[in-house]
Structure 1
């Protein structure tokens, strides 16, 4: 990187397939212009990582020097990165599953809002399907896995309400209804909790991201077994 926001190769490529590649000025608009489809899903995690680094770039206007802020303290950005990681891991390492992010339509009617335009959009982090099974997976990232209510640890209520809305509105496919799964990075305790709420199965798990990569991969494969 020779200057803030631009990328320049160390040497011109001799490969004719690269003849159309041009230097660009990085910006949020440039990232927003990239469309990830089912044909290039493997780029999603890489793009998310690059954008995380770009958004964390700080430039001293007086000196022009560049430094990076500690994005690990930004829960929103880390949540996006964690979501992309889980999506791509399942897509690449759990071959029996097909994954996508999907919009779930509200099972609702309204005389005042017939097109349901005022209802919030429900878009899953990960919708995973395999023979006989359909899971809606939400990746959540917090500095503390559990919330605290009068010094008593509880699951984040908003996460459960959101998952409940997904499951109650998701259409069955071939008679198969969706199960829900909330996955958090492990912070202070392991979670392997399973509930049945209004006839729908919801699991809450943690993953130890500080473990060696082989252990992380093994843990995630076990969750998707």
Structure 2
């Protein structure tokens, strides 16, 4: 029988494999077939395969700003620094230029994470040795401090798309978003985190794309349902309504807003209530998508259940003619139960 610890680790892998289709490619099949007792051993296994593949293809390079004192002119001359060199009687020019280099933030994050995993007790000895062999290929990459990484500034494009999964793994390792309970099992750490929320919503969207394509899952932007043509200079100040998941069958639509929060409920005058900002948000999405007020557009707040929290998973409310509900998705159980919960959401809304 699979242990609670093993179940949790498998769930993390399943979530990642839905969110990042690259995990279903040949290189990672060996990882999918293994059983892991330590979460960092799973992360090390994924990085080992992914980084080895990237090394074969060549580490990602980009133009990095450099400044060097050179004997010949290169790039742009730094006047002040060159004058300083002249005062010191050094016959050199201070030059600023861009160099096509592998010493960029993407490879720097990989390097510091590999070093971190090499020193973690939970990583198997053979995996640690494989990572040590890979670190040799990062000789021209600086070892940075993990606290200085600006995660929200990372941009993925065609040339570095394979890095997206790897750096998401690095984020989980470096930011300790997985903590151990008193009995030695794992759970997702219980605080709001933008990075984890993106992974959570991406997993749900991809799950529905794979298992319920008949519901045309997508994540569209909803236009504001204004009755008059607004001043074009004013419309830009309205917030962008980017949905997480929208399911549709016939003329019925369900907007799912995925929320990764430690606690879905808050105390309000000594009473447990849903977060008002979340309720206002899903209501705005629903009413602006249901432009003809048919009542065929519904909304659902789907919270990741990361704590043993009492939550009123009941019938949705009918607000201004539209169904608005809230549920939790328990991530600390066998994945087939997580799958059953997601299936039941689709069935409840479209098979009534």
TM over 0.5: yes
Equivalent runs, 1:207-222 vs 2, <5 Å: 207-222=329-344
Unmatched tracts of structure 2, length 5 or more:
1-43, 45-49, 61-101, 108-150, 178-187, 348-352
> Are the counterparts in 1 of residues 255 and 297 from structure 2 also a CA contact under 8 Å?
yes
Deviation at 1:11, TM superposition (A): 10
Deviations 1:73-115 (A, max 9, x none): 4522221111111111111122321111111111224665566
Whether 2:223 is the aligned partner of 1:180: answer no
In structure 1, the residue matched to 2:169 is: 53
Question: Please, what is the CA RMSD of the aligned residues?
Answer: 3.3
Deviation at 1:117, TM superposition (A): 1.1
Q: 2:310 aligns with which of 161, 164, 189?
A: 189
Over 3 Å counting, the alpha-carbon distance change for 1:161 and 1:23 in structure 2 is: same
Aligned length: 194
Q: 2:59 aligns with which of 12, 23, 28?
A: 23
- Please give the alpha-carbon distance, in whole angstroms, between the structure 1 residues aligned to 2:238 and 2:329: 33
Residues 24-33 or 206-215, more deviating:
24-33
Deviation at 1:30, TM superposition (A): 9.4
Over 3 Å counting, the alpha-carbon distance change for 1:216 and 1:115 in structure 2 is: same
Over 3 Å counting, the alpha-carbon distance change for 1:182 and 1:55 in structure 2 is: same
In structure 2, the residue matched to 1:18 is: none
Whether 2:201 is the aligned partner of 1:83: answer yes
Unmatched tracts of structure 1, length 5 or more:
2-6, 14-20, 36-42, 58-67
> What SS does structure 2 have at the residue aligned with 1:153?
strand
Deviation at 1:23, TM superposition (A): 1.8
Q: 1:157 aligns with which of 272, 276, 290?
A: 276
Q: 2:241 aligns with which of 106, 122, 137?
A: 122
Q: 1:140 aligns with which of 237, 240, 259?
A: 259
Q: With structure 2 as the length reference, what TM-score do the two structures score? A: 0.48
Over 3 Å counting, the alpha-carbon distance change for 1:151 and 1:54 in structure 2 is: same
Q: With structure 1 as the length reference, what TM-score do the two structures score? A: 0.72
Residues 128-137 or 161-170, more deviating:
128-137
Larger Rg: 2
Deviations 1:117-167 (A, max 9, x none): 111111101111123421111001111121111231101111110111111
> What SS does structure 2 have at the residue aligned with 1:210?
coil
> Are the counterparts in 2 of residues 134 and 178 from structure 1 also a CA contact under 8 Å?
yes
